């Protein structure tokens, strides 16, 4: 059914797309030139290359293994469930030396 509908509407769609392409694109560019100065792409890419050489500023030091920063906080983007899972994994081996509660015979 959809294929038949596409066949039926194909000439109308083609005419609509061609009319969009035939519109005067220079008129649109003239309006834009009044508002914005047009810069060639070469100059823009040169500026980006020179800016890319500088290193990213890192305010906080973060452990790559645990993702904790110097204050023991996880990143803001991390899901709370994932934080809980990592904390449980990190604390898993710490309590092995404790004797069990109750009577020790």
Phi-psi region of 5 (alpha: psi -120 to 50; beta: other; left: phi over 0): alpha
pLDDT in tens, the chain (105 residues): 999 999 999 999 999 988 888 876 666 666 766 777 767 888 877 766 555 555 665 667 888 888 899 888 999 999 999 999 999 988 887 777 767 777 666
Does residue 15 sit within a domain?
Answer: yes
Please give the pLDDT value at position 78.
92
- Within a domain: 55: no
H-only helix segments in the chain: 2-22, 25-35, 41-51, 80-91
Number of domains in the chain: 2
Task: Establish if 89 belongs to a structural domain.
Answer: yes
Does residue 26 sit within a domain?
Answer: yes
Asked whether the whole model's pTM tops 0.85, one would answer: no
Residue where the block lists tokens 């449980």? 88
- CA 53, CA 39: separation in Å to the nearest integer? 22
Do the domain assignments include residue 84? yes
Residue 14 lies in a domain: yes
Residue 2 belongs to a domain: yes
Task: Answer yes or no: is 78 within a domain.
Answer: yes
Dist. CA 17–CA 52, nearest whole Å = 40
Structural domain boundaries enclosing 27: 1-37
Q: How far apart are CA 5 and CA 1, in angstroms?
A: 6
Q: How far is CA 91 from CA 6, 74, 86, in A?
A: 61, 15, 9
């Amino acid at each position: 059914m959809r294929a038949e509908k596409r066949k039926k509407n194909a000439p109308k769609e083609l005419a609509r797309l061609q009319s969009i392409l035939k519109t005067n694109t220079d008129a649109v560019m003239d309006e834009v030139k009044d508002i914005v100065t047009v810069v060639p792409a070469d100059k823009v890419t040169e500026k980006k290359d020179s800016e890319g050489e500088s290193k990213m500023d890192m305010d906080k030091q973060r452990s790559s293994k645990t993702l904790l920063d110097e204050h023991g906080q996880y990143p803001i983007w991390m899901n709370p469930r994932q934080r809980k899972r990592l904390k449980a994994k990190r604390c898993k081996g710490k309590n092995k030396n404790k004797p069990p509660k109750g009577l020790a015979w």
